[in-house]
Structure 1
């Protein structure tokens, strides 16, 4: 039990370290709405694969801090899925927050490649219209992750489109959820041990990866349109419950830049922004 709490403390401290970004640094922010498809399986609710459509709000920020790049991504999605026979539905509602500090590995005429440690945290649930005894499930998780990024601006003076690729892979974390067949009444009122519902996750019982590609397209001198496409894969088996998710989506939004007023020191340290 002591080793488990030590691990939780280490994860929390790591997240705080990643989040300590300089508020006065130049920043690029992207917001948009995406549509896509989701295939999901949760054996707590049903042994079948459910498939359907999702709508997602996404918010991404890249911030330059000295030689590091602070990356943060948030999304919230709502989905409606059906079983193969089409006689039962499952509704999905969840949100995720990711962050990372990335070090440039290469910077040249071919673009900028960077990587670094990060975190990934999520919360959400599922509701099944056909499961009468336990129709809903709730989950929460947090992980340390490895983050990668690439940026390249096309050398077109008339339309200098910025291409951005990003990917994040979870390494080690914790997951909170109920046991197989356990109702929320049993979990909250009978067991009286919600802290025992935490489980360590690793590549042996959990795998999660997100992949995104962004095109930031300047429209004359008025705005920057963002076109985003991506996929996410999340598989885990905890407390005899198996969960599988595959999501694909494409979105459109807007990107804006913010630069602080810092005088001569800011100009000398930030004369070249890699995004």
Structure 2
């Protein structure tokens, strides 16, 4: 518990002071737009959890669905050279083992808040962003074949390194914006039941060692995100590919959830005006383009 408390203090020191400074001054002449995209994705999943299959690293494969909402905005930090990014991700998948006699259902929800310093003068039309993010996630893996211990719960709190590149170009005057982003946790805490320990024991007070410090020695997780933005009629479409890897080896239980999703959705860019800014609605600074 001391580890978790220390991590919560660390996250508060790193993230919440940044969030407290993101309101723009009313005297700023150039409004900052919010770039928001909502996407739906479909793809393949590979799942394994030895809590559900003791002693056997049985892999389950199948298809899953995810919904992803992303928001980006330039904030006041470092003379408006920092952008804030928020992700809300919801996913669900159904997978089967190789013998096709059992099913694993998985469901996860996660939210992340990140801040990136923006390098905009490296190459024309290229933005390189680097920073950190904090992510809170929770979910489950449920096995239909098990009568005892049919489900494995997951909960993670991470501090991640995050970087991305955004490049705008044209093909015969048709504008396209490409983005690649990677995110990898380097410190955090996670909930991990012990091998063979029923969840019923937790309600009886047997909670020792189920909250663990996590880093690269017992957890590897990474997201690779590729997107293309392009206009279609009066809309901006965002299409992309999301590769997600999650592996843990804690308390005698090995878990992995690997997925590859193809994403499609719409982008909207808007500015909240107020007071004197209404006079300059034709001018704004984009966090993305």
> Does structure 1 conserve the Cα–Cα contact (< 8 Å) formed by 2:33 and 2:285?
no
Count of residues in Structure 1 that have an aligned counterpart in Structure 2: 271
2:224 corresponds to 1:211: yes
Paired position in structure 2 for 1:189:
204
Paired position in structure 1 for 2:239:
227
Residues 17-61 of structure 1 deviation map (CA, whole Å, 9 limit, x = unaligned) = 454463553210000110001101111002301111000001111
Structure 1's unaligned 5+ residue stretches are: none
Paired position in structure 2 for 1:104:
118
Query: TM-score scaled to structure 1, two decimals?
Result: 0.90
> Shift of residue 272 of structure 1?
6.4
Listed as ranges, the matches of 1:1-275 within 5 Å are 2=2, 4-20=4-20, 22=22, 25-46=32-53, 47-65=57-75, 66-107=80-121, 108-156=123-171, 158-191=173-206, 193=207, 196-220=209-233, 222-261=234-273, 263=277, 271=285, 273-275=287-289
Q: Matched residues in 2 for 1:70 and 1:265: separation?
A: 26
SS in 2 for 1:154: strand
Q: Matched residues in 2 for 1:210 and 1:29: separation?
A: 19
Query: TM-score scaled to structure 2, two decimals?
Result: 0.86
Structure 2's unaligned 5+ residue stretches are: 25-31
Q: Matched residues in 2 for 1:176 and 1:226: separation?
A: 34
> Does structure 1 conserve the Cα–Cα contact (< 8 Å) formed by 2:74 and 2:286?
no
> Larger RCO: Structure 1 or Structure 2 (Cα < 8 Å, ≥ 6 residues apart)?
2
Residues 112-148 of structure 1 deviation map (CA, whole Å, 9 limit, x = unaligned) = 1110011122100011011211001111001101111
> Does structure 1 conserve the Cα–Cα contact (< 8 Å) formed by 2:39 and 2:67?
yes
Q: Matched residues in 1 for 2:2 and 2:222: separation?
A: 30
> Shift of residue 87 of structure 1?
0.6
- Cα separation, partners in 2 of 1:172 and 1:110, compared to 1, 3 Å: same
SS in 1 for 2:204: helix
Superposition CA RMSD, Å: 2.4
Q: Matched residues in 2 for 1:94 and 1:153: separation?
A: 33
Q: Matched residues in 2 for 1:139 and 1:255: separation?
A: 31
> Does structure 1 conserve the Cα–Cα contact (< 8 Å) formed by 2:34 and 2:287?
no
> Does structure 1 conserve the Cα–Cα contact (< 8 Å) formed by 2:114 and 2:132?
yes
Residues 168-206 of structure 1 deviation map (CA, whole Å, 9 limit, x = unaligned) = 110100001321111111111242x47x52100001111
Q: Matched residues in 1 for 2:67 and 2:4: separation?
A: 34
